[in-house]
């Protein structure tokens, strides 16, 4: 997350437009990046919120107090670092309003390319703002938390209902608007005699786990691995609602940076290939390596990918056999045996 608008967020403090927190001020930082470096005069007692596992671990290593979800209330100041997802950004602002004390300062920043101007105008219309500035290709604005935020305003900012196609989803998570077409294609290709101990890598909100539990009666258990904390919690709800008979475990885990200690008969995955806007096939390639390490001898990997992504060479390097089950105009479904 090195492309975050952190310099934009810090700009009003550096220019004296906003007073930095003093030593006794309680400061909540929603969306704090793993690469965080704060000015020396930033003296408040900081509570970081970061639900993306790699950034969470980086903040923890740097010595910050960090949680995957916001906790506590009556903070003197809340910083909100926004990202690419409009609904997630609005949900973060709604969280800031709930947890900041009356009259406390809320400072939020968004990259212009991610709709920073639109977000600032929307908040200004709903709540009013003290001021704003444009710097470092981003927009930063600040406001005082009202004594009693209007319930309709809070509902408007947090209007994402967290459900699509009958499943719990989360703003900012993968495929938050319903079942992903690639995952659906992979699910339809899974052999019905798939059995044993299964893992779902990059599980998102759990569609593949739910689908495989319903399709393959020989599956004994499913372990779900996901780096986005809110998505993993949605997966927990979906497994309970749609596959309550299936033993399942949930791992908030960075598959690119943390080892998998368990071993599996089969692994399913729709691997991510974006850290920013450009495709980064090395993410999927690294996940293939992680899957190869986590499979038992003769264990199988089933994955779906966009057709142009170059995964076959990595499968050939790390598996004894591999092939293609199906492809359509957009996706290909691949298999490999350890």
**CATH value at residue 190:** 3.40.50.150
Q: Please indicate, yes or no, whether residues 86 and 194 belong to a single structural domain of this protein.
A: no
- For residue 229, the SS3 value is helix
Evaluate whether residue 76 is within a structural domain.
yes
Of 85-89, 99-103, 261-265, give the lowest mean pLDDT range.
85-89
Which of 104, 127, 157 is the endpoint of a domain?
Answer: 157
Q: Please indicate, yes or no, whether residues 310 and 268 belong to a single structural domain of this protein.
A: yes
Q: What pTM value is reported for the model?
A: 0.93
Q: Find out whether 119 and 86 touch, Cβ atoms under 8 Å.
A: yes
Q: What is the mean pLDDT of residues 186-199?
A: 97
The residues near 178 (Cβ < 8 Å, ≥ 6 apart) are 164, 165, 167, 169
| Band (272; pLDDT cuts 50, 70, 90) | confident
Spatial separation of the C-alpha atoms in residues 238 and 217, rounded to whole Å:
18
Q: Please indicate, yes or no, whether residues 219 and 96 belong to a single structural domain of this protein.
A: no
Q: What is the mean pLDDT of residues 153-180?
A: 84
Spatial separation of the C-alpha atoms in residues 38 and 27, rounded to whole Å:
13
Evaluate whether residue 223 is within a structural domain.
yes
- CA angle, 141 then 30 then 23, to 5°: 85
Q: Please indicate, yes or no, whether residues 173 and 315 belong to a single structural domain of this protein.
A: yes
Which of 137, 157, 177 is the endpoint of a domain?
Answer: 157
Reported as a single tens digit per residue, the pLDDT across 49-65 is 999 999 999 999 999 99
Spatial separation of the C-alpha atoms in residues 180 and 233, rounded to whole Å:
18
Tokens of 148: 């009693």
Q: Find out whether 221 and 192 touch, Cβ atoms under 8 Å.
A: no
Q: Please indicate, yes or no, whether residues 137 and 173 belong to a single structural domain of this protein.
A: no
Of 94-98, 196-200, 213-217, give the lowest mean pLDDT range.
94-98
| Band (3; pLDDT cuts 50, 70, 90) | low
Contacts for 1-4 with beta carbons within 8 Å, 24 or more apart? 1/33, 1/34, 1/35, 1/52, 1/55, 1/275, 2/33, 2/35, 3/111, 3/276, 4/31, 4/33, 4/35, 4/81, 4/83, 4/111
For the cut 60, the answer to whether the pLDDT of residue 267 exceeds it is: yes
- 58 is in which domain, residue-wise? 6-157
Q: Please indicate, yes or no, whether residues 96 and 34 belong to a single structural domain of this protein.
A: yes
CA neighbor of 174 nearest in space, from 207, 211, 212: 207
Evaluate whether residue 1 is within a structural domain.
no
By DSSP bridging, strand 248-252 and strand 264-269 are: unpaired
Number of domains in the chain: 2
Evaluate whether residue 242 is within a structural domain.
yes
Q: What is the mean pLDDT of residues 144-162?
A: 78
Q: Please indicate, yes or no, whether residues 252 and 274 belong to a single structural domain of this protein.
A: yes
DSSP class per residue in 163-219: EETTEE--TTSTTTTS--HHHHHHHHHS-TT-EEEEEEET-TTSHHHHHHHHH-TEE
pLDDT of the residue at 2: 46
Beta bridge partners of 79: 29, 107
Spatial separation of the C-alpha atoms in residues 102 and 148, rounded to whole Å:
7
Which of 135, 157, 179 is the endpoint of a domain?
Answer: 157
Of 164-178, 202-216, 262-276, give the lowest mean pLDDT range.
262-276
Mean per-residue pLDDT of the chain? 93
Q: Please indicate, yes or no, whether residues 136 and 177 belong to a single structural domain of this protein.
A: no
Q: Please indicate, yes or no, whether residues 109 and 167 belong to a single structural domain of this protein.
A: no
Q: What is the mean pLDDT of residues 273-286?
A: 70
For the cut 90, the answer to whether the pLDDT of residue 167 exceeds it is: yes
Q: Please indicate, yes or no, whether residues 153 and 271 belong to a single structural domain of this protein.
A: no
């Amino acid at each position: 997350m090195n492309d975050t608008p952190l310099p934009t967020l810090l700009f009003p403090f550096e220019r004296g437009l906003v007073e930095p927190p003093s030593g006794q001020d309680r400061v909540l930082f929603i969306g704090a990046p793993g690469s965080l470096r704060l000015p020396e005069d930033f003296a408040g007692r900081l509570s970081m919120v970061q639900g993306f596992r790699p950034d969470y671990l980086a903040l923890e290593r740097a010595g910050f107090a960090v949680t995957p979800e916001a906790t506590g209330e009556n903070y003197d100041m809340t910083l909100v670092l926004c990202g690419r997802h409009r609904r997630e950004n609005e949900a973060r602002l709604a969280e800031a309003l709930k947890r900041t004390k009356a009259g406390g300062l809320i400072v939020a920043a968004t990259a212009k390319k991610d709709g920073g101007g639109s977000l600032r105008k929307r908040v200004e219309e709903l709540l009013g703002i003290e001021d704003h500035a444009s710097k470092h290709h981003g927009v930063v604005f600040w406001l005082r938390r009202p004594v009693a935020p209007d319930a309709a305003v809070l509902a408007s900012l947090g209007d994402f209902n967290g459900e699509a196609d009958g499943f719990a989803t989360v703003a900012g998570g993968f495929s938050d608007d319903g079942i992903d077409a690639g995952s659906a294609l992979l699910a339809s290709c899974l052999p019905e005699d798939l059995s044993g101990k299964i893992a779902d890598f990059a599980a998102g909100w759990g569609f593949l786990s739910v689908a495989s539990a319903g399709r393959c009666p020989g599956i004994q258990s499913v372990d779900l691995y996901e780096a986005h904390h809110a998505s993993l919690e949605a997966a927990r709800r979906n497994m309970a609602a749609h596959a309550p008979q299936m033993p399942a475990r949930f791992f908030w885990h960075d598959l690119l940076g943390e080892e998998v200690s368990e071993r599996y008969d089969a692994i399913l995955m729709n691997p991510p290939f974006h850290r920013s806007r450009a495709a980064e096939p090395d993410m999927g390639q690294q996940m293939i390596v992680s899957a190869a390490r986590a499979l038992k001898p003769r264990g199988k990997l089933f994955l779906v990918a966009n057709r142009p992504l170059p995964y076959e060479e990595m499968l050939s390097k790390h598996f004894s056999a591999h092939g293609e089950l199906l492809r359509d105009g957009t996706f290909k479904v691949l298999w490999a045996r350890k």
